[in-house]
Amino acid sequence: MDFFNQSKIFSLINKYQSFVLIFFLLILLLGLTEALFLSPQDYLQGDSVRIMYVHVPSAWISLGIFSLMALLSILVFVFKNKNLIIISKSLAPSGFVFTLIALVTGSIWGKPTWGTWWAWDARITSMLILAFFYFMYLLAWRVFENKDNVVKITSLICIIGAINIPLIKFSVDWWSTLHQPSSIKILSESTIHESMLIPLILMTAAFALFSLLIFLMKYNTELIKIKIKGLDRL
Amino acid sequence: MYGKKVKLRILFLIVLVLTIALTVFFVLNSLKENVVYFLSPSEVKILSEIKKDKIRVGGMVKKNSININNDQIIFVITDFKNDINVSYAGLVPNLFQENKGVVAEGFLQDRNYFKAVKILAKHDENYMPPELNKKIEE
């Protein structure tokens, strides 16, 4: 697997990390301007709608990262590819942080809109379970010290946790929940006005770039750790 | 193509995921009553018994049904098939309006009367600027 040659990736990351940082800051600035100043108030929620521009992208990214980690974990578990596990490990922290951001901003939005900080409905509870899976994954890396065991256990946590992903996605369609169903649909027209869609997309791009940046830094650190330990792989 | 071990690991994963997914499916399916956050007025109508436990009823606030006298707010929750009368004393969220979603938490007195102890506004999936909403209403 020449593609995963670590010294090559190492120098590549160092080269492009600053580009990603600049690109992220640019998009974030643009997204925040759109979200906080240029986009209109909502006809019902007023200015609370602006919380959505952080809440929804965070939720998307956290689901996306976990799905990716699950996919990598399947490959790791089946083919014993230890380079992929480092990618999965490096993705986890930003995924966990975005899950927490989605939960907290949702709570802050819920109080003025619904009239409650928290509701044990299917969407919110399944999102909390996702946060626990991320937490469990990160803890497992510290708890299990035997290298073969830690690779197996963390992959299995991801694969089992992936069952929760469709539950989160479809919870609002399958059960009656306090949380509203998705406004953005793939098959039919979205129920969100264009002027609000622009900041949403920009913020999603900004958060994705931020995750990429944190991932690159974390991945770099993992590679350095491996080098110092004098191992050619994990 | 792949070694025997690889095939065994694939099989293991498939069996593992299937087992857990099936378990989760049956648990959620049999707990459906608890997984749903609220019942619709139509579901209240066909309840086999009226329990004394706290439940939630949700739907739309029927148009021209909000009636405020003294501290009491009386309104009707509808799912456009069946209605249920709700009485409540206390603060309501800002988004509590006629023709908008609502979830009432409280106690069912009979199949047509619900005594709420907490009102939550349910926001729908529509987001638009105020000007556009005015146009739609006109």
Give this complex's ipTM.
Answer: 0.88
Q: B40 in a domain, yes or no? A: yes
DSSP state of B90: S
Three-state DSSP state, B99:
coil
- What whole-number distance in Å separates Cα of residue B94 and Cα of residue B73? 14
- How many C-beta neighbours within 10 Å does residue B135 have? 10
Domain that holds residue B72: 36-122
Name the more confident of B125 and A134.
A134
Q: Please give the sequence-ordered ranges of beta strands (E in DSSP) within chain B, or none if there are none.
A: 55-61, 67-69, 72-78, 83-89, 101-110, 113-122
Asked if A18 is an interface residue toward chain B (Cβ–Cβ < 8 A), one would say: no
Asked if B44 is an interface residue toward chain A (Cβ–Cβ < 8 A), one would say: no
Q: B43 in a domain, yes or no? A: yes
The structural domain count of chain B equals 1
- What whole-number distance in Å separates Cα of residue A125 and Cα of residue A118? 10
- What whole-number distance in Å separates Cα of residue A162 and Cα of residue A150? 18
Region A103-121: mean pLDDT is 93
Q: B29 in a domain, yes or no? A: no
Q: Could you tell me the two tokens for B120?
A: 């939550």
Nearest to A196 among B10, B95, B127 (CB): B127
Which CATH number fits the domain that encloses residue B92? 2.40.50.140
Q: B1 in a domain, yes or no? A: no
Q: B86 in a domain, yes or no? A: yes
Q: B7 in a domain, yes or no? A: no
CB A111 within 8 A of CB A67: no
Which of A57-71, A165-179, B40-54, B71-85 has the lowest average pLDDT? B40-54
For chain A positions 47-86, those within 8 Å of chain B (CB to CB) are 49, 52, 74, 77-79
What is the pLDDT at residue A1?
45
Asked if A183 is an interface residue toward chain B (Cβ–Cβ < 8 A), one would say: yes
Which residue has tokens 């593992």?
Answer: B16
Q: B97 in a domain, yes or no? A: yes
User: In chain A, what is the straight-line distance between the N-terminal and C-terminal CA atoms, in Å?
Assistant: 15
Which residue has tokens 């009656």?
Answer: A176
pLDDT in tens, A138-182: 999 999 888 888 999 999 999 999 999 999 999 998 988 999 888
Which residue has tokens 């006809």?
Answer: A43
Characterize A180-190 residue by residue with b for buried, 16 or more Cβ atoms within 10 angstroms of its Cβ, and e for exposed.
Answer: bebbeeeeeeb
Q: What angle do CA B124, B125, B129 make, to 5 degrees?
A: 100
Q: B68 in a domain, yes or no? A: yes
